Amino acid sequence: MRESPNGKSPTVVEVRRGAAVESWHRGSWVLVDAAGTVLDGAGDLATPVFVRSAVKSLQALPLLESGAAERFAFDDADLALALASHSGEPCHTERVAAILERVAAILERLGLGVDNLRCGAHPPFDAETRRELEARGEEPTALHNNCSGKHAGFLALALHLGVPAERYLDPESAGQSLVREALGAMCDLDPGGLETAIDGCSAPTFRVPLPNLATGLARLATPDRLDAERAACCRRLTEAARAHPHLIAGSHGRLCTALSRATGGRLFPKIGAEGVYVIGACGADRGLAVKMEDGGKRGLHALVMALVERLGWADEDALEQLHEWRDPTLTNHRGLEVGRLEVRLP
């Protein structure tokens, strides 16, 4: 294996053109149980990584535990969107808008709407939605931000706790303090010692070692060791994702949705920016965390699929449904096969 400059992250995916290696992707991965025991893995398991959107499920726990979700009538589809890095399709943007309308109505804050989301705007990830928006001459709004569902949940949590709308992302606010505490507890880390920074959507993000990140997902997916209230909240979140897999990512071309659909919700997958990916195996007492050194998706998707197969997390029918994600063939613009991806696991 080729080693990274620090000697910790091995080459996990090779890109071959013809018979020669043209490029390679280095990365690390770890499999744990809900007690935090490392069962398998490779690479740098000690250096913390910014978890980015991979922990939206853990960040959503206070929304349920505080009573905010009940107060603002969040259903399972709303909760799935709070966990999402969505494609900005109408099924996503219309539901975020509806959440904001409910929050505004219940609190009689007549002006509460899209402008209160502080995630910023970017074009929809979904190409068809993006083309339609451009054809209408419309600019993307914060609703199209892939994190808008999370922000709607954060906003509801903050207002439920009496935090002004404009402060809902303040790391020291009551809502974000609960988020930090929940993430620390689930990942078996001291919340006060978590290193933080600002995410792409302007929310706080945290730096966590891969085994701890995987532990958080193992506990979410198999919450038997948790207290009854938190366990019930974990089960509701994973059930929301199972029932609405298209809301956690997109209707097409998104690995998270594909994995959830193909396995009937037995896997709870979530991507994070810069090459982070996590999977909780529901009821199986396992959590997986992956980090690609180059922060890209090409090697990430190939490695995740190889690990899903290696761990026996998808049966033959599920693997057939996931064939487009498993195909290692690289083609050019004429459709000619020019190379392939090869995953290297120890």
Task: Give the model confidence (pLDDT) of 32-84 as tens digits.
Answer: 999 999 999 999 999 999 999 999 999 999 999 999 999 988 999 999 989 99
Q: Is residue 4 part of a domain?
A: no
Distance CA 158, CA 166 (A): 10
**Among candidate residues 265, 240, 12, 53, the one with its CA nearest the CA of residue 148:** 53
What CATH number did the domain enclosing 121 receive?
3.40.710
The structure's pTM equals 0.93
Q: Is residue 6 part of a domain?
A: no
Tally of structural domains, the chain: 1
DSSP letters of 122-138?
A: ---SSHHHHHHHHHTTP
Q: Is residue 180 part of a domain?
A: yes
Distance CA 76, CA 62 (A): 15
Q: Is residue 159 part of a domain?
A: yes
Give me the tens of pLDDT residue by residue for the chain, a chain 346 residues long: 344 445 579 999 999 999 899 999 999 999 999 999 999 999 999 999 999 999 999 999 999 999 999 998 899 999 998 999 887 778 878 877 777 776 555 444 335 678 888 999 999 888 888 888 889 998 988 888 999 999 999 999 999 999 999 999 999 999 999 999 999 999 999 999 999 999 999 999 999 999 999 999 999 999 999 999 999 999 999 999 999 999 898 888 899 999 999 999 999 999 999 999 999 999 999 999 999 999 999 999 999 999 999 999 999 999 999 999 998 899 999 999 999 999 999 8
Q: Is residue 2 part of a domain?
A: no
Domain that holds residue 195: 11-343
